[in-house]
Every structure is written in C-alpha cells, then in structure tokens.
Structure 1
Amino acid sequence: MASYSDENMTNRSLARKVLIDQSKQQQISMISGFRGVARHLKSVLTVEINTEQINLNVLDDVRMLIIPQPRSAFGTGEIETIWKFVDEGGCLMILSGEGGERISLNELISKYGITVRKDSVIRTVFLKYFDPKEVLVANGVVNRSIAVAAKKNITVFIRTLSFVYPYGCTLDVNNRSSTVVLSSGSTSFPTSRPVAAFHETKLNEFKKKGRVCVVGSVSMFHDSYIEKEENGKIFDTFVEYLVNGFELNTIDATEPELNDYTNIPDHIHMSQQIKVCMYEGELDSAVSSDFMKIMDSSLHSFNLKHWPMTLRLYEALNLSPPPLTLVEPQFELPMPPFIPAAFPPTFQDLPMPPLELFDLDEQFSSPEVQLTQLANRSDEEDLIFFIEKAAEITGISSELIRSERTPKKIIELAVSKLMLFRRSMMEGEIEVTSHFDMEDDRHRHSFNQLEENDDQLFSDIDEFDDL
C-alpha cells in the first residue's frame, strides 16, 4: 500500500499548478505587480494565490511554488515543509530584492548552497535608464544554455541576451551544489557577481528531481520591467527549467566567469577612530601592542580639583597666594612664517603661438591677393560662397548683422558703397576744375597789369627821346 508521501510525489510530478505565496506580507501581488507573471504562466500552468501558512496540504498537487521577497519570518515547520516539497520533486522560485535577506530567507535557501547578500547592484555607466539601480546588463549570461533555451543564436558564444536588473542584490553561490546562470555584468557594481542561480536535487525513488531558482531582484519580473529588454524571455526560460528541466553547460557551470566580492571600507566608522599617524608607526611591542593605552588623556586634562588643596597649603605655610596671571598660549604653526623674497618671482612664460596650425600666406596676405586667390579657386556654382567670402575679406560683413548676411544684402551694400565712391570722385573733379579756372583768371589779371606798367615806362622813354 502506497504511503501519503508516495502519492504526493506521484501527483506532484503530474501537477500543473503554480502557487504564488502572499502569506509573508509581500508588497507585490497578483493585483499589483505580478499580472505579467500570471500572463506568462497561464500559457503552460494554472496560477493560484496562497495567503495561509505553508504546509503539506497547501502544497498538495502544486508543481511550482513562487515566494516573492517575504517580509515576515517563516512559521514553525514552514522551512522543513518547503525542503520536503523540493525533495519530492517540486519546483521552488525565490525572488529577493535590494538589501538582501528579509527574515530567515537565507535559512531557507542556504541548504542549496545559495545565500543573498545585504547589498544593492548599481550601474556605473549611464545607459537608457536614469536610476542607477535600474541596471541594464548586456553581458550577464554566465551559462550559455540559458541563451540557447531562450532561442538565441550563439554560433560564436556572444552574450546577446540583455536584461534589466532593477533594485536587486547579489548572491553567494557554492559552485559544487548550485549553478550560476546570470551575473551583474561588467558595467555594474559589484562587477560580475551572481544574480541568479539554479539548484537541482538528486533523483528520488520515483526518479524525479526537485529544482530551485533564486533571483536577487523581485522587480526584474514586475509589470514595469517584465516586458522591457528580454526579461520576459528570461522568466519563461527559468519556468521551463523548473518545470521540465534542461541540461546546463558543464564548462560554464564548473568555471563561471565571475569576480570575487569586493568590500568597500566603512569610511564613516574609520574616520571616528583615533590613529597615531597617517601611516603605520613602529610601536614598541615590549611596552604595549595597543597604542590606545599609550594615549592617556588624563595627563592633559584641565580641572580645578586640586585648587582647594593648594589654597590650604598656602594657609598652612602662612603664605599669601599669588594673584592669578594669564598664561599666554603657544600655538604650533603648521607652516613657517613668511619672509620677504629677495628676488622677484619667476613665472612661466607663455607658450609660443602654434603657427603650424595656421596658413601664414592666407593670414598675412593683402585683401587684393586674397580676392584673387578666391576668384581663381571658385567656379560658377560657387557664386554664393564667393560673395560671402569676399564680403568677409573686404569687411562688408562686419557692417551687417548676422541675420542679414545674405548674398543679396551684401551686393546691395557693395553697390551703394560704389555709388557713394563714384559720387565723391565726381565732386572732387568739379572742385579741382573750379580751382584751376580761378588760378587762370588770377594769372590773366596780373599779366594785364604788367602790360599797363610797361606801357607807362616806355611812354616816359619816348618823351625823353623827344627832348
């Protein structure tokens, strides 16, 4: 006669029901956040919700159990019940979040060589998503079988499966008992650390294996992210592995490309600790190995507890106590005092102008030469360029605002300047002509006066001859 446990294992191997636990005060539920998960699961399994304590009766005829980020502790016997559920061939999916363990979660999954860390994955390079905790991972596939199951072409092993890993933590995975399938990638911090891992139990007496999947981010399959990038394909691949199973790549499982976990020093705590110096000093071990004991603060304390005893000693000796005086403090200067300089300071000269970056012939040539060169290298198609460049050379562009520097405006201004120049030339010719006419009249008048004077002189000579 078969036992209850044997009947459970037989039913579980044929069951097609998924149970999403909501008994641990989870913030994500089927109503808010897991509608996309239910839509992906309903194509192959039946989805139900559990709000009661987890026991064998609740897990009867259940194929897969999903526990999304529990916020309250597991009750008495719940962890053993889940372990037994997995040993009987059941499937377990654990979804954690940033900050790591929440109420005995590691106690549940440490049996499978997986633990969640109390950290958060951030992206060190901005790409597509504004929040640094919304990590876009482009090279996070550690085991190539995940890409094959997601129907990715990997003739040459290139990690083409990209996913969003929002508000998640990293995992510690024992490679001997579990397999890392996804990592945080090379552009995140911590770099290339496990974020998703699988575990498969040994065959039971019914030749069935239980499977466990742990993911460090419950938000990865939230309604806001499951349809972004290829998160939906990854979820379907995880469900396919848990329900039906497929072979993982043994080479990638044995030697995954992961980095060691890097701890960042607690600078706030270290800054509050007293140190001897910025570097490690050589302490005499014979005196004390703890330098804190050498620093006796009582030797440098200021108080008045000995003041009454001192006054009584003065009275016993029949002496008058001296008046209090001000003790001038002596401050240690971190820098020596300033001394006037005997020589003026020497400043660094400015570098030579980079003449090799300029065309000297073009810079120092006259406007006429520049116009000639511009005309030689311009064709009929370059008329607009010729007009604009010629305006810059002749300085016409500086008389126009930037919005009016069109070829039409430039030609209009050039013609107006030419007409003004021609008019000024014509007025100059008229003035020069009138000046020459006035000089000619002046010379003609002076010549007539000379003739009259000669006539008078010669007339006197004639009279003298007559005499």
Structure 2
Amino acid sequence: MADSNNNIILFDMAKNEMFDINDNLKILRRKLQGSYTIAINKHEITVDVLNGVQLVVFGAPRAMFSEAEFNCLHKYIDLGGSVLVMFSEGGEKELHTNINYLLEEFGIMVNSDYVLRTHYYLYFHPKECLVKDGVVNEAVAKYLDRENENTSKCISFVFPYGASLNVAKPAAPILTSGSVAYPLNRPLCAFYSASKYSNKAKKGKLAVIGSGHLLTDKYINWEENDKIREILFDFLITNNITLNEIDANDPEENDYEWHQSKLWTLIELILFNVTHVMSNTSYRTFVQINTLRKISLIYTKQGCTIEQHTLLLHGLKKCTGLCREKE
C-alpha cells in the first residue's frame, strides 16, 4: 500500500482538522515542498486514498472515524506506511474524536488534559510551556549530533496548548514535559516503529505529538521547535533515526496522576508567581489577565472543588487589583 519510492505526504482534511496545511501550517508546507509532494484528502479514508502515499498526517481531527477507516489505517501501517497524529489541549474530549482507538493498538493514548508551566519564564501564558529537559531517548541527541551533552537537555522547545500522552510498549516516548511543566515528566511525543517487532520487508511507523500548535506558523520558529519538526518527519519518512533500545524500555517519566492536592498546589504556584510579577510590572503588561480567568475554568473541569474554584477567582481578583494599583 505504501511505497517507499513515492514521496507523497497526504494531509487529511476530511475530519475537520484543526491544523490546515493551507492555513496555519504554511511554513511547514514550504519546508516540505522542496522534497515531497503535498496532497490533501477530503474524503473517507480508504485503501485507494492511501495507495502510493508515504506519510499520512492528521492535524488534530475533530470528527469521528469509522471502524472501516481504522482497519484501513492499521493495515496501511502494517504494510509499511507512516502516520503522524497531532493533538491539542484537552485531547480527544475537546476535539470530539475517537482516534485513540487506533493509537492504543500501538501503545499510545492521548490524555484529556492540559500541559501547564508552573511558573512564569520567558512566555507569559502558562500553556506556552518552555521545556529544556524533556528528551528521554538518546536517538534525539544522536540525530542532532549533540551526544556529548546531557541527553535530556540536548534541545529546548516550546510546547503550546497541548496534552500529555500515556505510552507503553511497543511505542516509546521521545519527549516529555520535563521537571517544570505539569504534569511532571509525562510523555508529550511518542514513536512506534514496526521494525523492532516484525520480520516483514516493509516497516510501518507512527508518531503522535500532544501539541500540533508546535508546528504551526506561530510557534514553529520558537526556540528549537523546527528541530522537532525535522525529527518527526525524518523518523517517519527516512531511516535516519533509530530509537535507543534502553531508553525505549526504561524512560524517565512519572506516573500520570491528577490528584486534587497536587492540582491545588499548582493553582497556588501560579497565583504566587503571577502576583509577584504583577507587583513589579505595569498593569498594561498584564492585559492578558483574562487568560488566567479561563484557567480557573480548566481547573474546575479537572476536579477542582467549588471552594477551591471560589478561592481561585478571589485570588485572580486580588491580582487584578494589584495590577491596577501599579497602572
């Protein structure tokens, strides 16, 4: 079904994808067009649609897949095809899709959560997470020719408005949220390669990233996000990246938990840091205070009690008052 001699990358648009190659992925398109033929699909996924395609990209689908489509995609990967799936904050729940059904068969599941940075650093919005220690597979350092560096810190990237993943064999986590973003040390990007588990001549691949925003025109040139783009597409299309077996078997990551106690600690951390910064900055700089009000709604969805939610709103009002005093 997939032919390694072809250089067609198919971007699916049949599922009302959030990330569009003709809209918010224009820079990505320009970078790919030099070496690959870009095609767009607006119809149901079938064998004919995937015939001759080297890579299929789903830019955060916002519609349901049928069982026939899942079977077709599974067969496509089994026969050597590659698939990239992007997500956004809130995972399946926010996107109203069911693609985890397919991903789970390869050891990957996207959580219905939000990755947040616990303190202000460089980027104001807590969902624009700067991760400096998130690499968990040595293959990334080797690919970047940075093997002499601390593997976890060999690349810095911004992970905006994304969700975390659960990863189990046969898949392997590649990037995590590191020690600063919350939930801590949780997978943000994972790879699956059939080459380790099959003797077939053709080896299918799958890559899942919890934030497709990372590849959009707005964020692709932030920090080293474009290097992440190179890693994703080189893994899926070429044989230039071979996953480190030891790292794949024993990655450094934390168990996934959203306990209310930890949740409230995070709320307090954000309020403390925002209050501290606001007490030393003009009100005009913090017009984006409304974004913090939206965060309070997120916490409510994640299990915050009514009392905690009320306290959070009170804290935000207090922060706003500090801002206005400094105006």
State the Cα distance separating 1:25 from its structure 2 match: 1.0
Q: Distance in 2 between matches of 1:243 and 1:49?
A: 18
The aligned counterpart of 1:251 is 246
Q: CA 1:215–1:157 in structure 2 vs 1: closer, same or farther (change >3 Å)?
A: closer
State the Cα distance separating 1:42 from its structure 2 match: 1.9
The aligned counterpart of 1:114 is 108
Q: Distance in 1 between matches of 2:307 and 2:152?
A: 43
Q: CA 1:173–1:76 in structure 2 vs 1: closer, same or farther (change >3 Å)?
A: closer
Alignment of 1:132-171 (within 5 A): 132-155=126-149, 157=151, 159-171=153-165
For 1:13, what is the secondary structure of its paired residue? coil
State the Cα distance separating 1:205 from its structure 2 match: 6.9
Does the 8 Å CA contact 2:135/2:152 hold for their aligned counterparts?
no
State the Cα distance separating 1:186 from its structure 2 match: 0.6
Which has the larger strand fraction?
Answer: 2
Alignment of 1:342-353 (within 5 A): none
Does the 8 Å CA contact 1:18/1:65 hold for their aligned counterparts?
yes
Structure 2 residue identity aligned to 1:52? H
What whole-Å deviation, never above 9, does each CA across 1:320-370 have from its counterpart, x for those lacking one? Answer: xxxxxxxxxxxxxxxxxxxxxxxxxxxxxxxxxxxxxxxxxxxxxxxxxxx
What whole-Å deviation, never above 9, does each CA across 1:405-425 have from its counterpart, x for those lacking one? Answer: xxxxxxxxxxxxxxxxxxxxx
The aligned counterpart of 1:262 is 257
Q: CA 1:76–1:111 in structure 2 vs 1: closer, same or farther (change >3 Å)?
A: closer
State the Cα distance separating 1:158 from its structure 2 match: 5.5
Over the aligned positions, Cα root-mean-square deviation in angstroms equals 1.8
Q: Distance in 2 between matches of 1:54 and 1:149?
A: 33
Higher RCO (CA-CA < 8 Å; seq separation 6+): 2
For 2:27, what is the secondary structure of its paired residue? helix
Q: CA 1:171–1:153 in structure 2 vs 1: closer, same or farther (change >3 Å)?
A: same
Q: CA 1:158–1:141 in structure 2 vs 1: closer, same or farther (change >3 Å)?
A: closer
The aligned counterpart of 1:193 is 186
State the Cα distance separating 1:113 from its structure 2 match: 0.8
Q: Distance in 1 between matches of 2:152 and 2:133?
A: 8
Q: Distance in 2 between matches of 1:205 and 1:254?
A: 20
Out of 122, 130, 148, the residue aligned to residue 128 of structure 1 is 122
Q: Distance in 1 between matches of 2:10 and 2:4?
A: 15
Does the 8 Å CA contact 1:150/1:234 hold for their aligned counterparts?
no
Q: Distance in 1 between matches of 2:188 and 2:61?
A: 18
The aligned counterpart of 2:272 is none
The aligned counterpart of 1:22 is 13
What whole-Å deviation, never above 9, does each CA across 1:187-235 have from its counterpart, x for those lacking one? Answer: 1110010000001125767511100000001101011001111111111
The aligned counterpart of 2:98 is 104
State the Cα distance separating 1:156 from its structure 2 match: 5.1
For 1:18, what is the secondary structure of its paired residue? strand
For 1:181, what is the secondary structure of its paired residue? strand
The aligned counterpart of 2:54 is 63
State the Cα distance separating 1:268 from its structure 2 match: 2.0
Structure 1 residue identity aligned to 2:137? N
State the Cα distance separating 1:28 from its structure 2 match: 2.3
Does the 8 Å CA contact 2:118/2:180 hold for their aligned counterparts?
yes
Q: Distance in 2 between matches of 1:157 and 1:34?
A: 29
Q: Distance in 1 between matches of 2:121 and 2:224?
A: 16
The aligned counterpart of 1:43 is 34
Q: Distance in 1 between matches of 2:25 and 2:4?
A: 25
Does the 8 Å CA contact 1:87/1:204 hold for their aligned counterparts?
no
Q: CA 1:126–1:270 in structure 2 vs 1: closer, same or farther (change >3 Å)?
A: closer
Does the 8 Å CA contact 2:136/2:152 hold for their aligned counterparts?
no
State the Cα distance separating 1:269 from its structure 2 match: 6.8
State the Cα distance separating 1:26 from its structure 2 match: 1.7
1:31 aligns with 2:25: no
The aligned counterpart of 1:238 is 232
Q: Distance in 1 between matches of 2:198 and 2:246?
A: 26
Q: Which runs of 4+ in 1 moved over 6 A?
A: none
What whole-Å deviation, never above 9, does each CA across 1:15-52 have from its counterpart, x for those lacking one? Answer: 11000001111232122111122122223321111111
State the Cα distance separating 1:150 from its structure 2 match: 2.6
Q: Distance in 1 between matches of 2:53 and 2:84?
A: 13
Q: CA 1:51–1:85 in structure 2 vs 1: closer, same or farther (change >3 Å)?
A: same
Query: 5+ residue gaps in structure 1?
Result: 1-7, 272-467
State the Cα distance separating 1:83 from its structure 2 match: 0.6
Structure 1 residue identity aligned to 2:101? E
Identical pairs, percent: 34
Does the 8 Å CA contact 1:106/1:116 hold for their aligned counterparts?
yes
Q: Which structure has the greater CA radius of gyration?
A: 1
Count of residues paired in the alignment: 261
Q: Distance in 1 between matches of 2:115 and 2:156?
A: 16
Structure 1 residue identity aligned to 2:175? L
State the Cα distance separating 1:167 from its structure 2 match: 0.3
